[in-house]
Amino acid sequence: MNHAHITLKTVAAYALLASTTASFAHVTLPRGGATVGSDYNAAFRVGHACEGAKATTGLAVRLPKGFVLSDAQARKGWKLDVQKNSGDGEVRWTAENPQSALPASERAEFVLRGKVPATPGPLWFKVLQTCDVGSVDWAEVPALGSSTAGLKTPAAKLDVVAQGVATVDVRDGWVRQSVPGQSGTGAFMKLTAPTGTKLVGISTPAAGVAEVHEMKMEGDTMKMRELPGGLDLPAGQTVELKPGGYHVMMMDLKQALTKGSTVPMTLRFEDAKGQKTALDLKLPVGAPEGADAGAPAHQHKH
């Protein structure tokens, strides 16, 4: 394999990974999944050095079974070693000298490319981070399920999803509660699409109509309107639907939405190539602690 610098078409897109809400306590992959059998650029994000260390001097990624490596991206001042074994393998970057090491105050991405398995499910990449002082093996995998909550040194997770399922990452979703007789309310969430797409439609059995609306000032008047062309989700950037901005407007509510209940919702996406995908969610009713609930959504005037 050629270990020279390899240009990966979507590495630039991953470099736009939103950092406003992400925690860099771990070595992580960009938010969002990958479609079964597809090529995937795995950009491992290093946000800090080991505890008590001044710099990261090495990163070794153990490839999970089913992931077929094709390329790895060289880094200036770092030695690249690739071991391709049957069913597994390892990609290792090692700083050639202290000057090439990654300072604790800087963030960087170490990138490899390969094909994901043909079966949906979580894919765990175990990563050994070596520093000038000590090392951390990011290798913990949950005994049940795929949540890394509570794990001190979790492996980097990639969700491999079935054909037709959107690879968009959805976080912090919620629906504003409503009272009997109320006709409309709002839903809010943070969306991150790894390769870029557009949110073009929403449906929920809880409402007759669900649309993405925009709230903006026109002159000295706050106006709200549907986004007829859909909501763009640039590659790697987190787009927040929140009170006072973009949001999902739910109209013709079928019943009151009480705090603590959940609302099923389907999001439909279409990318620049016309590829259509969908994502099924269950959103909790009621603003999470610390969220800006804003004005009641049913006060919308168009």
User: Other CB atoms closer than 10 Å to residue 205's CB: what's the count?
Assistant: 10
Q: What is the pLDDT of residues 247-258, one digit of tens each?
A: 999 999 999 999
Mean pLDDT by runs of 10 across the 302 residues of the chain is 34 30 67 94 94 96 94 96 80 97 95 96 96 96 89 95 96 96 96 94 96 81 81 95 92 95 97 94 89 46 36
Give the pLDDT confidence score for residue 155 in this predicted structure: 96
Please name the residues in contact with 136: beta carbons below 8 A apart, sequence gap of 6 or more.
50, 51, 128, 129, 153
Give the pLDDT confidence score for residue 291 in this predicted structure: 62
Burial label for 221, CB within 10 Å (0-12, 13-18, 19+), is: exposed
196/14 Cα distance (integer angstroms): 10
User: Other CB atoms closer than 10 Å to residue 233's CB: what's the count?
Assistant: 23
